[in-house]
Amino acid sequence: MYNKLLSPLDLGFTVLKNRVLMGSMHTNLEEAKNGLQRAATFYAERAKGQVGLIVTGGISPNVEGSVWMGAAKMTTLEEMEAHKIIPEAVHKEGGKICMQLLHSGRYAYHNKSVGPSAVRAPIAPFTPRELSSEEVEQTIEDYAYASELAQMAGYDGVEIMGSEGYLINQFIAKRTNRRTDEWGGSYENRIKLAVQTVRRTRERVGENFIIIYRLSMLDLVEGGSTWEEVVQLAKEIEKAGATIINTGIGWHEARVPTIGTVVPKGGFAWVTKRMMGEVNIPLIATNRINMPDVAEQILVDGCADMVSMARPFLADENLVLKAMEDRAHEINTCIACNQACLDHTFSGKLTSCLVNPRACHETELNFEPTAEAKKMAVVGAGPAGLAAATIAAERGHEVHLFEAASEIGGQFNMAKVIPGKEEYAETIRYYDAMIQKHGVKLKLNHRVSAEELKEGNYDEIILATGVLPRKLTFEGIDHPKVLNYAEVLYDKKPVGKKVAIVGAGGIGFDVAEFLAHEGELPSLNTELYMEEWGVDMDYKTAGALEVPKISPSPREIYLLKRSKGKHGKNLGKTTGWIHRASLHMKRVNMLSNVTYHKVDDAGLHISVLDEPQVLEVDNVVICAGQESLRDLYDALKENGQSVHLIGGANVAAELDAKKAIKEASYLVAGL
Ligand code: FAD
Ligand code: SF4
What 3 state SS string does 294-344 have? HHHHHHHCCCCCEEEECCHHHHCCCHHHHHHCCCHHHCCCCCCCCCCCHHH
Q: How far apart are CA 577 and CA 563, in angstroms?
A: 19
Atom of ligand 2 at shortest distance to CA of 333? 8
CA angle (295 as vertex; 292, 300 as ends), nearest 5 = 120
Indicate whether 9 pLDDT > 90.
no
Residue 166 annotated as catalytic: yes
In the beta sheet, which residues pair with residue 22? 54, 309
For residues 549 and 531, the answer to whether their CB atoms sit within 8 Å is yes
Give the pLDDT confidence score for residue 11 in this predicted structure: 37
Q: How far apart are CA 597 and CA 278, in angstroms?
A: 64
Residue 355 near ligand 2, beta carbon < 6 Å: yes
Measured in angstroms, how far is the CA atom of residue 318 from the centroid of ligand 2? 15
Q: Closest residue (by CA) to atom 43 of ligand 1?
A: 411
CA atoms within 13 A on the CB side of 180: 0
The predicted model gives 503-520 an average pLDDT of 95
Give the pLDDT confidence score for residue 165 in this predicted structure: 97
Measured CA to CA in angstroms, residue 117 lies from 129, 196, 275 at distances of 7, 19, 30
Name the maximum alpha-carbon separation found in the chain.
83
Render pLDDT for 512-529 as a digit per residue (tens, 0 to 9): 999 999 989 999 999 999
Cα dihedral 325, 328, 332, 333, rounded to 10, equals 140
Residue 441 makes CB contacts below 8 A (sequence gap 6+) with 398, 399, 400, 401
Measured in angstroms, how far is the CA atom of residue 648 from the centroid of ligand 1? 7
Q: How far apart are CA 382 and CA 365, in angstroms?
A: 21
Phi, psi of 502 (to 5 degrees): -95, 110
Tell me how crowded residue 398 is: count the other CB atoms within 10 A of its CB: 16
Phi, psi of 143 (to 5 degrees): -60, -45
Beta strand ranges found along 527-633 (DSSP E): 556-560, 589-591, 594-600, 603-608, 611-615, 619-622, 626-628
Render pLDDT for 183-223 as a digit per residue (tens, 0 to 9): 999 999 999 999 999 999 999 999 999 999 999 999 999 99
Q: Which ligand is nearest to the CA of 331?
A: 2
Q: Which ligand is nearest to the CA of 446?
A: 1
DSSP, res 574: T
Indicate whether 181 pLDDT > 50.
yes
For residues 509 and 523, the answer to whether their CB atoms sit within 8 Å is no
Give the pLDDT confidence score for residue 573 in this predicted structure: 86
Residue 334 near ligand 2, beta carbon < 6 Å: yes
Render pLDDT for 293-350 as a digit per residue (tens, 0 to 9): 999 899 989 999 999 999 999 999 999 999 988 899 999 999 999 999 999 988 889 9
Q: Which domains does the chain have, with CATH numbers?
A: 2-10+21-345 (3.20.20.70), 375-468+629-669 (3.40.50.720), 471-517+553-624 (3.50.50.60)
The reported pTM is: 0.94
> For the chain, first and last CA: distance in Å?
39
Q: Closest residue (by CA) to atom 8 of ligand 2?
A: 334
Render pLDDT for 63-103 as a digit per residue (tens, 0 to 9): 999 999 989 999 999 999 999 999 999 999 999 999 999 99
Q: Which ranges of 363-442 would DSSP assign to H, the alpha helix? A: 383-394, 412-415, 424-438
Q: Which ligand is nearest to the CA of 341?
A: 2
Indicate whether 542 pLDDT > 50.
yes
Give the pLDDT confidence score for residue 517 in this predicted structure: 94
What 3 state SS string does 424-451 have? HHHHHHHHHHHHHHHCCEEECCCCCCHH
Indicate whether 12 pLDDT > 60.
no
Q: Closest residue (by CA) to atom 42 of ligand 1?
A: 657
Taking Cα atoms as reference points, which of 620, 550, 534 lies closest to residue 584? 550
Render pLDDT for 145-170 as a digit per residue (tens, 0 to 9): 999 999 999 999 999 999 999 999 99
Q: How far apart are CA 176 and CA 127, in angstroms?
A: 12
Taking Cα atoms as reference points, which of 221, 324, 231, 314 lies closest to residue 273? 231
Measured in angstroms, how far is the CA atom of residue 338 from the centroid of ligand 2? 5
Measured in angstroms, how far is the CA atom of residue 341 from the centroid of ligand 1? 21
Q: How far apart are CA 627 and CA 485, in angstroms?
A: 14
Which residue of the set 2, 43, 145, 166 is catalytic?
166
Amino acid type, 493: K
For residues 619-635, b (16+ Cβ closer than 10 Å) or e, as one string?
A: bbbbbbbbebbbebbee
Give the pLDDT confidence score for residue 10 in this predicted structure: 42
Indicate whether 14 pLDDT > 50.
no
Q: How far is CA 335 from the centre of its chain?
A: 7
Residue 378 near ligand 1, beta carbon < 6 Å: no
Measured in angstroms, how far is the CA atom of residue 380 from the centroid of ligand 1? 9
Across the chain, mean pLDDT equals: 94
Indicate whether 3 pLDDT > 60.
no
Give the pLDDT confidence score for residue 2 in this predicted structure: 36
Render pLDDT for 546-558 as a digit per residue (tens, 0 to 9): 999 998 999 999 9
Phi, psi of 274 (to 5 degrees): -60, -30
Render pLDDT for 418-454 as a digit per residue (tens, 0 to 9): 999 999 999 999 999 999 999 999 999 999 999 999 9
Residue 503 near ligand 1, beta carbon < 6 Å: no
Residue 73 near ligand 1, beta carbon < 6 Å: no
For a ligand 1 pocket test, name from 261, 344, 412, 453 the mutation site with the most ligand atoms within 8 angstroms of its C-beta. Answer: 412
Indicate whether 629 pLDDT > 90.
yes
SS3 100: strand
Render pLDDT for 358-408 as a digit per residue (tens, 0 to 9): 999 999 999 999 999 999 999 999 999 999 999 999 999 999 999 999 999
Taking Cα atoms as reference points, which of 8, 28, 1 lies closest to residue 359? 28
Q: Closest residue (by CA) to atom 44 of ligand 1?
A: 657
The predicted model gives 486-493 an average pLDDT of 96
Give the pLDDT confidence score for residue 324 in this predicted structure: 87
Q: Closest residue (by CA) to atom 3 of ligand 2?
A: 353
Render pLDDT for 241-254 as a digit per residue (tens, 0 to 9): 999 999 999 999 99
Q: Closest residue (by CA) to atom 17 of ligand 1?
A: 447
Atom of ligand 2 at shortest distance to CA of 336? 7
Indicate whether 5 pLDDT > 50.
no
Q: Which ligand is nearest to the CA of 261?
A: 2
The sheet carrying 482-484 orders its strands as 482-484, 619-622, 498-502, 556-560, 589-591
